[in-house]
Structure formats: structure tokens, C-alpha cells
Amino acid sequence: MFKQFLNELRHRKVLRTAIAYAILVATVVEFIDIATPALGLPTGLLRLVIQIALAGIPIVLVLSWFFDLTSGGVVWGKAPSESSQTVAASKSHLISLLLIALLATTVVYLSYRLYWEPRVAAEFERGKSIAVMPFANISNLEPEATEYFSRGISEEILNALSKVKGLRVAARTSSFAFKQHDVKEIGVALDVSVILQGTVRRSGDQLRISAQLIDTVNGFQLWSGVYSHKLDDVFLIQEQIARAIVESLQIKLLGDKKTKLIHAGTQSLQAYDKYLEGRDLLEVRTSSQARKAISIFQQALVFDPEYAQAYAGLADSWILLREVGNLSLSIATQNSHDAITKSLQLDNTLPEAQASLGLCILGGGSKADAARQFQKAIDLDPEYSDAYLLRANLLRDQGYLAEATRVYTQALALDPLNLTISENQALLYAYQGRYDKAVEQLTLSVEKEPQRLTAQLIMSQVQSLIGEKTKALQHAQTAVDIAPQNPVALSLLLDSYLRLNDLQQAAIVFKTMQVSAPNNEWVIVKTMHYYLMTDQFEALNEIADSRLVGIIDNSGFVGSDFLFERTGWSATAKLALKDAKAAIELLEKGTAEVKKLDPNPASAYVFSLLARSKFLTGDKEGAEQSAKQATQLLDRAQTEGWDNRQLSYIRATIAASSDNSSLAINHLQDAIKKGWNDFVRAEHDPIMQEIIKSAEYMALRKS
């Protein structure tokens, strides 16, 4: 019976057809496997091809049983004649058995590539993975005051291990998010096989560090060590711990055994201690702590004037003070630039210094140069999640939402529990019109840490984009309660009151801002917004013009984002004062080529201003051209993924620039259908002044 079945298979050429199919499939699979990284093919393509190939095997077997491929085409297969059966029976069945074995091997091979190989690779990768927990401070003297030192020890060891090839190290923010948690829970959350935890005891000039490596699957201790040395030997202890971990995980270090894992950047214990203290102060992100950090980093540099990391910390302190303190953009940028330049002169391989230089450059308005610096930091350390976050934020704010989405995904893959990344990603979702997703992500952050400032700030911005003015106000107020002097929180609170047309409360917040941080960039921009919304056009014009002094006629700023944004505000003031000619003069100096501008609604609005100004001076053809340019920018923005209510409003301003009332109303209706309700803005927009007088607009307003 079995021999007869083999004869039937051979006669109908089932095995030969199946083997030909298997060889073809194996060749295609290997080719795609090699070509995927080389040609940048989608990573899921190989898996899809294997799935199709496996599904095709039974189909090929069935078809080859019933049909034959001949020189005359595909014909219905025939059963073997008795004579052929006799001949076949007299031949060895060895070839048929070999073909069946070969076919079975092919099936096993494809199944392995599809199911087992990824699991084996993942298990191997997980076996060489570690999370470094913050070491507990058990010093007898002032434990709270020296907490920064034990955390710094942990971070230095983490940084050293992250440079070991073949070892995957969980990011600092995700690791340090855990305090007292079960090791198995940590292993699952961070997808690591082991964790390192320990204690630090500092007493006088003595230092005692204990560390242990624990398996996250069974909780067993894999290695432990206790190191007691003089405090001056802190770098030696860190090196010993890092090497012991590498040896315990059986990872081979590249290069000479004398190659150090710990690169402290200084031999001065005093400088190192001050550096750790300064970095710890920056974690709080307040103006007072930033100023303290500046002083601490300067003390570190007294102990070691060649300490590159301390200069980088000093630069970061000035940048933070620029964001949250009463410091002008120009002074903060200059101070941070001086510090970061010195840091890079001493050591240009520090990824954090390259990222800091990017932030410094961004303060000067050069987004393209800042982007290059963030990418340079990533190139130096492909696992530096903070650099990915900075890169993603810049891409988002520029308007390149598709690329920003990819970079946020990379950042979260490296640092999955980093709330700052997920919060900033939520603002991206809001720009894309994915409001439910944005609120959901921010709600998780708020529930986890109700007093978390950044979550409240971004939630306020998202609720404003949604049109939930009251909720935006509530979150802005919560942010101010958390950080009463924070200029970003105060700016958002002012903005919320203005949107609600509560000018009395807005005036109170405005005065508070002017007292606490009048030189802060956020405050200055919101001050101009306040003057516009309260019809104080002369005051708006004065402050907007003052920001153009020294740059409007400077050839170095021609075509820059910095000049473009500032001339936009100044032109708004001129148009509000009914000086369209002055607005045109400014915008023609400050406006770059459309193709070089970022694809976001703000850029398109500036061209609406230019179109309106030209229309009012009688240049109808010029107005039409500028309106087309504004539309081009909005179309590019939508291609990038912008899909929120603001786009429809900007389209309404484009139509309004030439008094096309019916089209402007249509776009406003579309905006309203999507949830837009910012009528207060429209009624103080110099482009919309004719439209808001129309009966159609009044009908919209009442509805």
C-alpha cells in the first residue's frame, strides 16, 4: 500500500514539484534576510514571506496531485498505467523517501525561522540584560543631604555597563522609577534578566559599598560583593563592581583587560562630589535649584578646571534657568554656549554635551543646527534616550509629525517608563487629532504622580487644543499650585483665562508674571498675546519691535526661523494698528522661501498675515500669491499628519485675508464641527476683522 502511494507520488510529480517549490522558497527567504538591512526593507517582510510560503506548501501538493505542467500547458493529471506501475515497483523507493525527507526538512526550517528563532534570539538577548537600581544611602550622617552621592554611584555604574557590547542595560529613568518592588515585577516591566541593587555608606573619609546581582526569574542571588575603601577610591570601586557584573554575566570585554569601564572625567573627589550634587539639583527643575546648581558646578570647576562633565552640567543649568527662571533668552543662551563650548573642547565624545549644545543652539533659533546636534548625541550613544526625546520634541514642534512619531517610539523602546517621553508624545497625538489617546496617556501620568508638573502643563495644552477651556484652566491652575513661580505654568494659566474671556483674572495672572519672571521667553510671548487679546496694540507693537532690534537687518539671520517668528508678531501688531505697508515691509524681510519653512500651522498663519496686508494695500495679485503659499504650507502640514481643529481655523484666515467671507465661514463651520470654539481669538485676530462683522459669523457665534 505504501509503495503504491510512493509510485503515485512519483508518477504525478508531486515530490519534484514540491521540492522545486521548497528550493525557490528557501532562496527567497535567504535573499530577503540578507537584503532587509541592506535595502532598508520593512522588518516584518521576512515573517510575512515565511507565513505565505508555509501556507503554500499544502496548496502546491494538492495542485500537483491533480494537474501536470507540460509543454502544452497545465493539464489534468492521469493515474499511472499498469506498465508504469510495474516499472515503478521494480525501482528503488529510496529517491522518493529522500525527497519526502528533504521536504520535511524545509518545513521544519521555515517553522524554525518563523517561530523558534525569534524566541531563541529574544531569550538570548534577555539573558544579557540588566537594570541598575538606585543604591540605598545608609550613611549615618545627614542621609538626606548625601542621597545624591548614592544615586550618582548607581548612575555611573549604569553608564559604564551601557557601554559594554553585548549587554542590554535598562535606561536610568525606567530603572530609577522603581523603589520597593518585587524583582520579578521589575524583570517583566523592563524585560531584563537580572537587576543590580546595593547600598552606600559614607562616613568621614571611608566608603563602603555593597552590591548584589539578582535573577529576576527566580529571585536567586547570582553575585554579591562588599567594597570598603577610602573615599578617594570611589572610581576604583565602581570599576570593580562593573567588571564583576560583566564577568558574572559571562560577557567578553573587547580590547585590553586594562581598558577602563568607568570614565569619571576627573581625578578630584571634591569635583566629582560637587558634580553629582549639581546633577541632583537639576532633577527638581525649578529656578532656585537651577541657580544653586550653577553655583555647585562652578565649585566643581574650582577643584578641577578641566572637568568636561561639570562644564556640561553648568550649561544645562543655564538652559534650565532659561526655561523656568527670570532670565532673558540671549543671556542664558550666551552663558550656556560658553560653558558647553569649553566642555566640548575638553571632551567632544560626551553625548550629553552634544545634546546640550543642541539646546543652546535652539535658543538662538537655529532648528536645523540643533537637530544635527541631537543626532550627533544619538550617534555617540545609540541608547541615549534623552537625545531621542529632544530630537522628537524638535521634530514635533517643527511640524514633522511622521518622523517625530518614529523617534518617540525609539525613545520609549529604550526607556519605557519615562513619563517625560510619554507626556511629550501625548502633545504629538493632540497635533494629530488623536485627542482621546493624548488624554489617556496623560491621565495615566497624572494618576501615577498627581504632583507631577510636566503632566499638568501638557494636559492643559492638550485640553486647549481639544476646546475644553475649563479643563485647560483647571490643569493650568494645578500646575501653578505645584510651582507658583513657574513661568510656563503662569503663561498657560493666563492663556486659559484669555480663552474664557475672563479679563479680570487674566490681568491678575499677568501682573504676577511681570513680577516673577518678566525676562522669561515664555512670559514675553504670552505678554504679547495678552496685549493682542486686550486690544493694547501700541504696547504689543513696542515689545514686538524691541525683539527685532539687532536682527532685522543682520544678514546672519536672513531666512532663519528666529527672524521669521519674530517678524510674524511684529507684523501682527502693525496690522492691528492698520499699518499694512509696515507689516509687508517687515514680513518681506523676515519671510523665508516656503519650501524651506517648517510645515506647521504657525508658519502658514504668517503667510496669511502677509496676504491680508497685501490685500489691504491693493495688491490683489500679491495677496493671492501669499494665500497660495499659506495653503501650500497647510497642505504639507496635513501630509505630515496634522489633523487638529486649528488647521481649519488657519484656512479660514487664508480666505479672510482677501475678504472671501463665504469661504472663511465654511472653514469656521468645519472647525466648529471638529470641536473648535475659540471665538475670542478670532475676534481679536487682525486678519478676521471684516469676517466677524458678517451676519453669517454672528449666526455661528450664537449657535
Residue 654 to residues 565, 590, 611, Cα–Cα distance (Å): 18, 19, 8
> The dihedral of CA 430, 435, 441, 443: what is its sign?
positive
Cβ-based neighbours of 697, under 8 Å, separated by 6 or more? 665, 668, 691
Pairing relationship of beta strands 168-169 and 129-132 according to DSSP bridges: parallel
Residue 28 to residues 19, 22, 34, 256, 339, Cα–Cα distance (Å): 14, 10, 10, 42, 55
Can you give the C-alpha Rg of the chain in angstroms? 33
Quick check: 417 and 437 in contact, CB under 8 A?
no
Distance of alpha carbon 68 from alpha carbon 50, whole angstroms: 26
- The rounded Cα 135 to chain-centroid distance in angstroms is 28
Neighbour tally for 443: CB within 10 Å: 13
∠ CA 285-287-289 to the nearest 5 degrees?
A: 65
Distance of alpha carbon 541 from alpha carbon 667, whole angstroms: 29
Q: Which three cell numbers stand for residue 202?
A: 559614607
Distance of alpha carbon 460 from alpha carbon 430, whole angstroms: 12
Distance of alpha carbon 442 from alpha carbon 425, whole angstroms: 9
Find the helix packing angle between 351-363 and 367-380, rounded to 10°. Answer: 170
- The rounded Cα 79 to chain-centroid distance in angstroms is 65
Residue 246: the pLDDT is 81
Distance of alpha carbon 682 from alpha carbon 672, whole angstroms: 12
Residue 254: the pLDDT is 54
Distance of alpha carbon 69 from alpha carbon 14, whole angstroms: 11
Quick check: 637 and 646 in contact, CB under 8 A?
no
Q: φ and ψ at 410, to 5 degrees? A: -65, -45
| Residue labelled with grid coordinates 521669521 | 564
3-state secondary structure of 304: coil
Cβ-based neighbours of 166, under 8 Å, separated by 6 or more? 128, 251, 252
End-to-end CA distance of the chain: 84
| Residue labelled with grid coordinates 548625601 | 146
Distance of alpha carbon 191 from alpha carbon 202, whole angstroms: 32
The letter for the amino acid at 434 is R
- The rounded Cα 655 to chain-centroid distance in angstroms is 35
Quick check: 106 and 28 in contact, CB under 8 A?
no
Least Cα distance to 572 among 552, 543, 600 occurs for 543
- The rounded Cα 355 to chain-centroid distance in angstroms is 14
Distance of alpha carbon 459 from alpha carbon 120, whole angstroms: 42
| Residue labelled with grid coordinates 498505467 | 81
- DSSP run (H or E) holding 197: strand 194-203
Residue 162: the pLDDT is 85
Q: Which three cell numbers stand for residue 564?
A: 521669521
CATH 1.10.3470 fits 537-702, yes or no: no
Q: Is 683 exposed, middle or buried (0-12, 13-18, 19+ CB in 10 A)?
A: middle
Name beta bridge partners: 230.
Answer: 206
> The dihedral of CA 399, 400, 401, 406: what is its sign?
negative
Over the chain (703 residues), the average pLDDT of each successive run of 10 is: 52 58 68 59 61 64 53 49 47 50 59 51 56 84 69 88 84 83 85 89 86 87 86 86 81 60 86 93 90 96 96 95 91 93 94 94 87 95 93 95 95 93 96 95 93 95 94 97 95 97 97 95 96 97 94 83 90 96 93 84 94 96 96 93 88 96 94 90 95 92 83
Q: What is the DSSP string of 70-100?
A: ETTEEEE--PPPHHHHHHHHHS-SHHHHHHH
Quick check: 576 and 614 in contact, CB under 8 A?
no
3-state secondary structure of 191: coil
Q: Which three cell numbers stand for residue 400?
A: 514633522
Distance of alpha carbon 673 from alpha carbon 178, whole angstroms: 44
Name beta bridge partners: 74.
Answer: 69
Distance of alpha carbon 74 from alpha carbon 3, whole angstroms: 27
Distance of alpha carbon 197 from alpha carbon 402, whole angstroms: 39
| Helix, strand counts (H, E) of the chain | 34, 8
Distance of alpha carbon 200 from alpha carbon 343, whole angstroms: 30
Residue 550: the pLDDT is 87
Residue 543: the pLDDT is 97
As a residue count, the chain comes to 703
Q: What is the DSSP letter of 112?
A: I
- DSSP run (H or E) holding 156: helix 147-162
Quick check: 374 and 355 in contact, CB under 8 A?
yes
Distance of alpha carbon 523 from alpha carbon 510, whole angstroms: 9
Distance of alpha carbon 305 from alpha carbon 402, whole angstroms: 43
H-type helices in 534-677, by residue range? 537-546, 561-576, 580-590, 601-616, 620-640, 645-656, 661-673
Distance of alpha carbon 175 from alpha carbon 186, whole angstroms: 8
Name beta bridge partners: 223.
Answer: 213
Q: What is the DSSP letter of 551?
A: T
List the domain boundaries for the chain: 2-125, 128-248, 537-702
Domain 128-248: CATH superfamily is: ABC-type transport auxiliary lipoprotein component (3.40.50.10610)
Q: What is the DSSP letter of 267?
A: S
Residue 151: the pLDDT is 87
Distance of alpha carbon 228 from alpha carbon 237, whole angstroms: 8
Q: Is 639 exposed, middle or buried (0-12, 13-18, 19+ CB in 10 A)?
A: exposed
Q: What is the DSSP letter of 222?
A: E
